[in-house]
Amino acid sequence: MSAWSFVRGTAIAASFLGSVFGTNRRAVDFGFPLQYVAVAAFAFGVIGMLFVIGIQAINPRSDAVWAYPRWTLNPFSMRQPLQLFHFGGYFF
């Protein structure tokens, strides 16, 4: 087990425990049906991800070839932006 696997696992476990034992649980009313909010959030996420990855593709500090997301790689490396998206998806 690498150090980054431990960091990722610890952060995800902390997020899980925070959501299970959190005390601030209230119903949220967005003013729109939940289906509209879900579609808007999904569309925003897709467009935002394409924008950020597009910007990173022309970033001179980014690696020329990106590695597939793996648990053993550093999720905070600016040279490999897919690692952060992979970690963020599991975290949320």
Domain map (residue ranges) of the chain: 1-8+47-92
pLDDT of residue 43: 96
For 90, how many CA atoms within 13 A lie in the half-sphere containing its CB? 18
pLDDT of residue 27: 76
Place of tokens 């119903």: 27
pLDDT band at 13 (very low <50, low <70, confident <90, very high): very high
Mean pLDDT value across residues 14-26: 83
pLDDT band at 60 (very low <50, low <70, confident <90, very high): confident
Residue 30: is its pLDDT beyond 80?
A: no
Place of tokens 């935002």: 48
Helices marked H in the chain — which ranges?
3-21, 34-57, 81-91
3-state SS class at 67: coil
Place of tokens 């040279």: 79
pLDDT band at 44 (very low <50, low <70, confident <90, very high): very high
